[in-house]
């Protein structure tokens, strides 16, 4: 058994495993075999390794390489506004609230780009509305009436940051 193979297999935690794997000069196929053996011996899972890997500074830096370009490309691919501003009428806001649902795990049922396509707008516009919606839910609570939610959604983000629209007297 090679020195690095022994070092990797003796790793006590997923963090150690990731660090030792990075230091070794083993081929990816060899590392994959060692990963299986290490998981069987240690009782850790693939998710534990991925969790540790995502927190490792080398892998964080590696993941972020080119992220700006990827984001620009994604935003460009999913800009359905054709350069026009979309007017968020009460009907459109109501439609947005209906489509902006989450599943049992808290993930959105529709992706940003799907909503952008539906409304003929851009991803940043949808993200803005999602931020506003979360703020409205924070202000009004989970039992708020739909009419109240729609009323607050018609307000600007600044007004919502200040606690929501004030009643006219």
CB-side neighbour CA atoms (13 Å) of 168: 0
Taking residues 70-93, report their average pLDDT. Answer: 88
Tell me what the pLDDT averaged over the chain comes to.
90
Write phi, then psi, for 157 (nearest 5 degrees): -65, -35
The contacts of residue 84 (CB under 8 Å, 6+ apart) are 120
The contacts of residue 133 (CB under 8 Å, 6+ apart) are 96, 97, 100, 149, 153
Q: Read off the pLDDT of residues 6-59 as tens digits, 9 standing for 90 and up.
A: 999 999 999 999 999 999 989 999 999 999 999 999 999 999 999 999 999 999
């Amino acid at each position: 058994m090679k020195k690095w193979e022994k070092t990797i297999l003796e790793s006590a935690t997923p963090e150690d495993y990731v660090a030792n794997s990075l230091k070794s000069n083993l081929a990816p196929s060899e590392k994959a075999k060692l990963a299986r053996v290490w998981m069987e011996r240690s009782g850790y899972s693939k998710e534990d390794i991925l969790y540790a890997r995502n927190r490792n500074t080398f892998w964080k830096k590696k993941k972020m390489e080119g992220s700006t370009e990827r984001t620009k490309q994604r935003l460009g691919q999913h800009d359905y506004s054709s350069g026009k501003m979309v007017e968020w009428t009460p009907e459109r806001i109501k439609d947005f609230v209906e489509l902006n649902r989450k599943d049992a795990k808290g993930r959105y049922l529709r992706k940003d780009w799907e909503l952008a396509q539906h409304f003929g707008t851009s991803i940043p516009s949808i993200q803005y509305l999602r931020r506003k919606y979360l703020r409205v839910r924070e202000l009004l609570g989970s039992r708020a009436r739909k009419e109240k939610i729609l009323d607050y959604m018609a307000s600007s983000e600044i007004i919502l940051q200040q606690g929501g629209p004030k009643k006219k007297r």
